[in-house]
């Protein structure tokens, strides 16, 4: 079993839809959870990160962590064509800044106008 599992999609939704992206993990030591957006041929762009279980909201984006289920989600409200990208979840076991991130494979999202 891989440490981080993420459905690669592709996921296609109409503009304005609510998008739900998910990852599961197996390492109970993970305590730092982060979502990145990556456009084609570009480096990942940090969207949101959190250390604790619960929800964290930033504009149209909500990150949710359920440590008991080892499950994290990213919700995008009122999705826009510009949200079309690959979304990567990642996590690490340390808050110290030097622990390596473990990435999911990424989910490719297309928002159709």
Partner 1 sequence: GAVVSQHPSRVICKSGTSVKIECRSLDFQATTMFWYRQFPKQSLMLMATSNEGSKATYEQGVEKDKFLINHASLTLSTLTVTSAHPEDSSFYICSARADRGRGYTFGSGTRLTVV
Work out which of 23, 24, 25, 36 binds partner 1, going by CB under 8 A: 36
Which 78-107 residues touch partner 1, going by CB under 8 A? 88, 90, 95-98, 100-101, 103-106
Does 30 engage in binding with partner 1 (CB under 8 A)?
no
Which 41-80 residues touch partner 1, going by CB under 8 A? 41-46, 48-49
The 3-state DSSP class for residue 73 equals strand
Q: Give the phi and the psi of residue 9 in degrees, each rounded to 5.
A: 75, -145
**Partner residues linked to 110 by β-bridges:** 12
Between 60 and 105, name the residue whose CB sits nearer to partner 1: 105
Q: With contact defined as beta carbons under 8 Å apart, do 33 and 49 qualify?
A: yes
Region of residue 97 (left: phi > 0; alpha: psi -120 to 50; beta: else): left
Q: Which positions touch partner 1 (CB under 8 A)?
A: 34, 36, 41-46, 48-49, 88, 90, 95-98, 100-101, 103-106
């Amino acid at each position: 079993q891989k440490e981080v599992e993420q459905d690669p999609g592709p996921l296609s939704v109409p503009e304005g839809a609510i998008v739900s992206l998910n990852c599961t993990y197996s390492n109970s030591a993970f305590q730092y959870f982060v979502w990145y957006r990556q456009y084609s041929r570009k480096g990942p762009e940090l969207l949101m990160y959190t250390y604790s279980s619960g929800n964290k909201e930033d504009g149209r984006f909500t990150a949710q962590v359920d440590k008991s289920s080892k499950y994290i989600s990213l919700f995008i409200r009122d999705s826009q064509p510009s949200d079309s990208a690959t979304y990567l979840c990642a996590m690490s076991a340390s808050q110290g800044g030097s622990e390596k991130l473990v990435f999911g494979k990424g989910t490719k999202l297309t928002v159709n106008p």
